[in-house]
Structure 1
Amino acid sequence: MLDRFLFRRIDNAQLVVFRICYGFLVSAECYGAIITGWVRKTLVEPKFTFSFIGFEWLQPLPGNGMYFYFAIMGTLGLLIMVGYKYRLSAFAFAFMWTGVYLMQKTSYNNHYYLLMLLAFIMAFFPANRDASLDAKLNPNLKSHTMPNWIRWTIILQLFIVYSYASVAKLYADWLDFSFIDVLMRPKKDYFLVGELLQQKWVHVAVAVFGILFDLLVVPALLWKRTRKIAFAFSIFFHLFNSYVFRIGIFPYLSLAFTVFFFEPQTIRNIFLKTKNITITKVLEVPKNRNVIVGILGIYFFVQLLLPLRHHTFQDNVLWTEEGHRLSWRMMLRGRQGTIQFKVVNKENNEVKYIKLDDYLTNKQKNRVASYPDFTWQFAQRLKKEYTEKGMDVQVFVRSRVKINDGKYYEFIDPEVDLASVPWKHFSHNEWICPSQNQ
């Protein structure tokens, strides 16, 4: 039964068309990051970046290096789109994008994480078997079929993303619409819709629609009777997000995913213009069947567990941020904070208060003041700087944080020397003060 489901050969038109869209969109993302100044602001102008803990060695290339880095990624996207040297191009892009993802989290976005996962998934898929330069140059490569597990890998990944995103919205500030109000305030000056976005009824509609769309869109796209309606809602939802929240290629990538829900022959007729292809749905169980099933099982087991890990930590994830990343908790909160770093020389008790402007960009300052891992990493950086000067120091912090429109509360224990405590990846960091009804 499992083999018949996973290894039945199906039309590969969905994968081929998605490859073309995916390649174009990641190319646009990379070139666009250069043109819009994202690379300059995020990777060139800062004196250093806040990488994921454990990857502090991974820093941007000096000078104009990151412009070339993104230009290369953009070119790899074009090669993926046309299907030339596909495997090499897809894996090269996957590793390069992962490097960018890990070397900076000041501009962290769940969508960047999704693209990292997708980049590796696509690198393993045989997406260049049709409508590609590879297939044209090597006719033996050409095929109009793929195993069914490829399509369902994409569908299951999307189902996990959307389902966890929906469940995460079931908390007080979303359900009383107050966070929607916070989200919409900066949009007041938007052309035509700015004032509309400040209306209470719009906030209610956005909150309810956000929960229901994320929860139902994948099942609705799978069911033929509701597929066209769900697709129409998808177009509205993603174009709305694109205009209002300015989140790059990801609304369009989400729309591209919908090709996996329509009949392959329909996709082939519209996009590939090959109407006379006959697909024989035969069962071909490969010799590495157990390897494929094992990898898929482990991968989705991890994907199902990662978003739940915050339940194993003490306190509320909205306050501590422990377990927030890699969990599809999208657009759920805004954080603001105030912070003061005090460096104490252990030898003579000399005290120095750190001027953050000497080290950080405005966006980095906001993260250091509001997110515990940023605070800890900056304390470690200060310790390293003073150690290189021959000084043994302690680093203390006075920090207050508020979530959304809540009150400011003390966030970091001011008596703890952050320079001397390790970061705990799998348990609660006790120097984060307890939440106050967050």
Structure 2
Amino acid sequence: MKNKINKYINTNVDSSTLVVFRVLFGLQMMFSLIRFWAKGWIESIYISPIFHFKYYGFTCVQSLGEYTYLLFFICFLSALFITLGYKYKLSITLFFLSFTYIQLIDKTTYLNHYYFISIVSFFLIFLPANCRFSLDSVKKEISYTNIPKWNIDLIKILIVTVYFYAGIAKINCDWLFRAMPLSLWLPQKYDLLYIGNILSKEWIAFVMSWCGMIFDVLIGIFLFSKAYKNYAYGLVLIFHTLTAILFPKIGMFPFIMMSLTIIFLDKNIHKRFIIKFNSFFSFKSNKETKAIKKGNKYTMSLLACVLIIHILFPLRHNM
């Protein structure tokens, strides 16, 4: 068993997968923050209210008043630098701290994907996502073509955990046998072009309720499957496109998941992405090294513990 663990820890894979994930994560965060700012939510949610509901243990986290705009700007600038791979460790740390601080100001703004973003950004602090196709690698004149496999698997497992527990949460009488709340929500979409009429049918709410549960519970298995991951990603695109159309108030979650689940696709797709964009931006270093060091045992232990907690902790609702 110990030999298998050591072999896994020392297994390397192409770094382009994590690098593409970094770029897409940064772009999504930039767009999300611009959207939040443009809609005036900084003022209406964080500045104007005279009272904010606090998380237990975080009453010290207060609105910064007009300086909240500065906090969002720091968060945006960090996301930009993450995308470019510039001062990456500092940028991802600042992003994690600023984004998490924003979410802790008022618990009524909580959304599952906000928490997910905080956890992903925390993990990325310890992962070498700037090892290639980054301003850091250009400046250091060195890039790494391979990284430890566990760096990528860590993110994959976290994404699958999100889907799996979303499915587990749907296994209840209201969702499956009363089609609630879809039986209330879908008829309101009667004016949608082409599909509005069918959405008003009672049976469609049951079909979508069951399909949603099955998708969430099983999609992780197929995303990890070499034979079916491309088909699974196609289902991810269909599923989240539908949720974005039918439930626009869900915000950026569908777009975040559609972009970040690209991490499951074949490494050659990520390689082509880097080659294509390198032809425009020239993120090329003078020297390429095959592998980056596996990481110290303390970092691996910390990240493993955080991941295990997030896998086991939700079980308290289902035991």
* Short-chain TM bin: 0.7 to 0.9
Question: What is the SS of the residue equivalent to 1:125?
Answer: coil
Change (3 A) 1:271 1:206: farther
CA distance in structure 1 between the aligned counterparts of 2:212 and 2:121, rounded to whole angstroms: 26
* 1:3 alignment counterpart: 6
1:164 corresponds to: 165
Could you say which residue in structure 2 is the equivalent of 1:76? 78
Structure 2 unaligned regions, length at least 5: 280-287
Larger Rg: 1
Report the counterpart of residue 183 of structure 2 in structure 1: 181
Aligned to 1:359: none
CA–CA distance in 2 between the matches of 1:90 and 1:124? 9
Q: CA deviation at 1:18?
A: 0.9
- Tell me how far apart the structure 2 counterparts of residues 306 and 183 of structure 1 sit (CA, whole Å): 30
Structure-1-length-normalised TM-score: 0.65
Q: What residue number does 1:231 align with? A: 233
Does residue 317 of structure 2 align to residue 307 of structure 1? no
CA displacement, residues 26-63 of structure 1 (integer Å, 9 cap, x when unaligned): 0111111010122222112211211212212212111x
Change in Cα spacing, 1:199 to 1:37, as seen in structure 2 (3 Å) is farther
Counterpart position of 1:154: 155
**Structure 2: how far apart are the matches of 1:117 and 1:229?**
27
Gap runs ≥5 in structure 1: 313-438
8 Å CA contact 2:10, 2:148 repeated in 1: yes
Shift, 1:187, TM fit: 4.2
Shift of 1:95: 0.4
2:140 to 121, 138, 158: 138
Letter of the aligned partner of 2:60 in structure 1? W
Letter in 2 for 1:61: L
Amino acid at match of 1:226: Y
Say yes or no: does 1:295 pair with 2:297.
no
> Matched residues, percent identical?
29
**Residue matched to 1:325:** none
Change (3 A) 1:299 1:93: same
Q: Which residue of 2 aligns with 1:58?
A: 61
Which amino acid in structure 2 is aligned with residue 243 of structure 1?
A: I
State the secondary structure of the residue aligned to 1:143. Answer: strand
Deviation at 1:296, TM superposition (A): 3.4
Is 1:124 aligned to residue 136 of structure 2?
A: no
1:60 and 1:305 map into 2 onto residues whose CA distance is 33
Q: Give the Cα–Cα distance (whole angstroms) in 1 for the partners of residues 187 and 132 of structure 2.
A: 47
Partner of 1:215: 217
Conservation of the 8 A alpha-carbon contact between 2:17 and 2:267 = yes
Alpha-carbon distance change, 163 to 126 in structure 1, aligned in 2, over 3 angstroms: same
- Equivalent residue of 2:147, what SS? strand
TM (norm. structure 2) is 0.87
* 1:48–1:59 CA contact under 8 A, matched in 2: no
The aligned residue for residue 97 of structure 1 is 99
State the Cα distance separating 1:149 from its structure 2 match. 0.6
How many pairs align?
Answer: 305
How far apart are 1:68 and its partner, in Å? 2.6
SS across alignment from 2:184 = helix
**Aligned with residue 243 of structure 1, among 235, 245, 262:** 245
2:303 maps to a residue whose letter is L
Residue identity in the other structure for 2:57: G
Residue 259 of structure 1 deviates from its aligned partner by: 2.7
Shift, 1:263, TM fit? 2.0
Whether 2:21 is the aligned partner of 1:14: answer no
The answer as to whether partners of 2:47 and 2:68 remain within 8 angstroms in 1 is: yes
Amino acid across the alignment from 2:309? V
Q: What RMSD, in angstroms, separates the aligned Cα atoms of the two structures?
A: 2.4
**Which residue number in structure 2 is paired with residue 324 of structure 1?**
none
3-state DSSP of counterpart to 2:52: coil
Aligned: 1:49 with 2:59: no
Change (3 A) 1:133 1:293: closer
In the TM superposition, residue 282 of structure 1 has moved relative to its aligned partner by: 7.5
Contact 1:8–1:283 (CA under 8 A) maintained in structure 2: no
CA separation of 1:34 and 1:186: change in aligned 2, threshold 3 A:
farther
CA distance in 1, matches of 2:119, 2:271: 26
User: Relative to 1, partners in 2 of residues 1:81 and 1:284: Cα closer, same or farther, differing over 3 Å?
Assistant: closer
Report the equivalent of 2:283.
none
The letter for the 2-side match of 1:112 is Y
Aligned-partner residue type, residue 124 of structure 1: F
Alpha-carbon separation, structure 2, partners of 1:68 and 1:271: 33
Aligned equivalents of 1:264, 1:129: Cα separation in 2? 16
Q: Does 1:31 align with 2:38?
A: no
Alpha-carbon deviations, 1:314-354, whole Å to 9, x = none?
xxxxxxxxxxxxxxxxxxxxxxxxxxxxxxxxxxxxxxxxx
In the alignment, is the contact (CA less than 8 A) between 1:5 and 1:148 conserved in 2? yes
The Cα of 1:188 is off from its aligned counterpart by 4.9
Is the 1:51–1:104 Cα contact (8 Å) retained in structure 2? yes
Report if aligned partners of 1:60, 1:66 keep a CA contact under 8 Å in 2.
yes
Q: Distance in 1 between matches of 2:209 and 2:182?
A: 7
The C-alpha deviation readout for 1:50-106, integer Å capped at 9, x for no partner, is 1212212212111x3222321221121111101111111110010011111111121
Query: CA offsets, 1:149-202, max 9 Å, x none?
Result: 111101111222111111110111101213212333554555665554332232
Q: CA deviation at 1:249?
A: 2.6
